[in-house]
Amino acid sequence: MPLFRPKEYFRVATVGEAVSLLKRFGGAAAILAGGTDLLVAKPPHVEYIVDISRLPLNYIKKGARGVRIGALATLNDIAASPELREEPYDVIARSTWDMGTPLTKNFATIGGNICNAAPSADMPPSLIALDAEARIIGPRGKRRVLLEDFFVGPKKSVLKRGELLAEIFVPRAPANTKAVFLKKGRTSEDIAQVNVAVRLTVDDGLCKAARIVLGAVAPTPIRAKAAERMLEGKGLKEISQIMVDVARKAAEETKPISDVRAPAEYRRSVAEVLTKRALLNLMEKFGGA
């Protein structure tokens, strides 16, 4: 295996310094945060390392408008955060439970998990289900992008030259909103063969909003929008009766590939099973099963 020998290493003290270096070196630069992806992948094109680990981006703060999660918050920070214990924010913490070893979770960050843009990443489905947005800083200032629009393909995102993901913002959820995250891997700590996050908002016994977000079944995390529409406007009893059809529709919306982890048809089948199981779990949470 070739050695990973970048030309220069920079440990930055400010976001502005990081942005300046990323703009200067472009694709030849890579961000180092937790290092759990970069130091394993060792991309040969990387000549410059921009270490952002000392930036003040390791925080989880809940306010009246929602929850702000700094890009350097680690998976263990998220799993243990008191700000993420209440529904539906607990689904964010839940999505970290089976992401690698305890040691890995001490270093891996939410920013890295998102910016790596792996179709099988565990955090994006839960965040997308809660309508999260990415807050980005770059040479032209700040901008916001809905997380469901952040990913453009495997290992590709909307980040432009010189830009840095600084924060994830999860807006305050409507009352009586609950969410579930489920994952299927070859082992509990393995990369997902399929994962799913399902969120329902119920008011006066009717589903007012639904999100079904699937990972590892398309080039990017996807919302099963046709399946979501089947749920909206329905009562809990009716949802219990149609959940098999909803799960089937969600699976039909996937575009899986075959790889070393699983064949395409297996992924589609698992997507259906996990979606149905998530809906069952939600019915139990709402008391409608």
Give 66-107 pLDDT, tens digit per residue. 999 999 999 999 999 999 999 999 999 999 998 878 888 899
What torsion, rounded to 10 degrees, do the Cα atoms 177, 119, 94, 269 define?
A: 80
Residue 41 has a pLDDT of: 66
Say what the pTM is. Answer: 0.94
Residues of the chain with CATH 3.30.465.10: 60-171
Residue 278: is its pLDDT beyond 90?
yes
Residue 3: predicted pLDDT? 59
How would you classify residue 233: left for phi > 0, otherwise alpha for psi between -120 and 50, otherwise beta?
Answer: left
Q: What is the DSSP letter of 172?
A: P
Where does CATH 3.30.43.10 sit in the chain?
Answer: 8-51
Report phi then psi at 96, rounded to 5.
-90, -10
Q: What is the CATH number of domain 60-171?
A: 3.30.465.10
| CATH fold group of domain 177-286 | Enolase-like; domain 1 (3.30.390)
CATH architecture for segment(s) 8-51: 2-Layer Sandwich (3.30)
